[in-house]
Amino acid sequence: MPAKGYVEILVDTCKGCGLCVANCPTQCLALKQDDTNVFGYHYSYMSDPDKCIACMNCAVMCPDSVITVYKKKS
């Protein structure tokens, strides 16, 4: 079944603070441990995209507004 939602994260403005990861109820986000962005941060990415429920928690908590949330049309 396709995911209820997904997020897009602007890699080069993410500061890797991890608040999205900590507040995602389905643990579908993680910080990229083996890569960094132009500022040297381990940016956030969808490590388990099928689990996203489009709750928006990650984007609500993002201090740098780098997350856009998409929801499956009903």
Partner 1 sequence: MREGYEVIYQKPKTLTDNKMHYCPGCIHGIMHKIFMEVVEEMDIQEKTVGVCPVGCSVFAYDYMDVDMQEAAHGRAAAVATAIKRMLPDRMVFSYQGDGDLAAIGTAETLHACNRGENFLFIFINNGIYGMTGGQMAPTTLNGQKTTTSPLGRDKKSMGSPLKMTEMVTPLDGVAFAARVSGNNPANVRKAKRIFRKALEIQQQNIGTQFVEVVSNCPSGWKCTPVESMDWIVEQSIPYYPLGIFKEPGK
In this complex, which beta carbon is closest to partner 1, that of residue 17 or of residue 30? Answer: 17
User: Rule CB under 6 A: is residue 16 a binding residue for ligand SF4?
Assistant: no
Spatial contact of 15 and 41, defined as CB atoms under 8 Å apart:
yes
Spatial contact of 70 and 7, defined as CB atoms under 8 Å apart:
yes
CA distances from 33 to 6, 16, 19, 36 (A): 21, 10, 16, 8
User: Rule CB under 8 A: is residue 45 a binding residue for partner 1?
Assistant: no
- Scan residues 19-48 and list those touching ligand SF4 (CB under 6 A): 24, 26, 28-29
Tell me which residues touch ligand SF4 (CB under 6 A).
5, 7, 24, 26, 28-29, 52-58, 69
